[in-house]
Structure 1
């Protein structure tokens, strides 16, 4: 009985150890993804600013009818 309990305890400790390692790995992935998202958000903000600037500089379209009228 004591041997089976010891074996069960060892099994549980091993299982918990693997879960702890997996949680640490997943946390590293989440942190890396957060940094990627922040970097992409900064790039999008820059691109949106550039598009807004280009739209402001673009000439307005003329309201002339097409040549087939």
Structure 2
């Protein structure tokens, strides 16, 4: 019986540690989603202004 109680205590501690890790990861994911959303909005605004162009490897720059 004592062995089972020790095993339950160990499993409970493991679940709590895993919960802490998952909670921290969710916080990171939420933060990264906000950053991506801000970058997407910034890029959309830049494209709407017409200044969002960039040169790909095989394209000539506009001054040619």
For the pair shown, the structure with the greater C-alpha radius of gyration is 1
Determine whether 1:53 maps to 2:45. yes
Between the two proteins, the alignment pairs up a number of residues equal to 52
Unaligned runs of 5+ in 2: 52-64
The higher-RCO structure (CA 8 Å, 6+ apart) is 2
Give the 5 Å matches for 1:24-43.
24-43=16-35
Calculate the aligned-residue CA RMSD, in Å: 1.5
TM-score (norm 2): 0.75
Structure 1 residue ranges, 4+ long, deviating more than 4 angstroms after superposition: none
Using the alignment, how far apart are the partners of 2:41 and 2:12 within structure 1? 44
Unaligned runs of 5+ in 1: 1-8, 60-69
Determine whether 1:22 maps to 2:14. yes
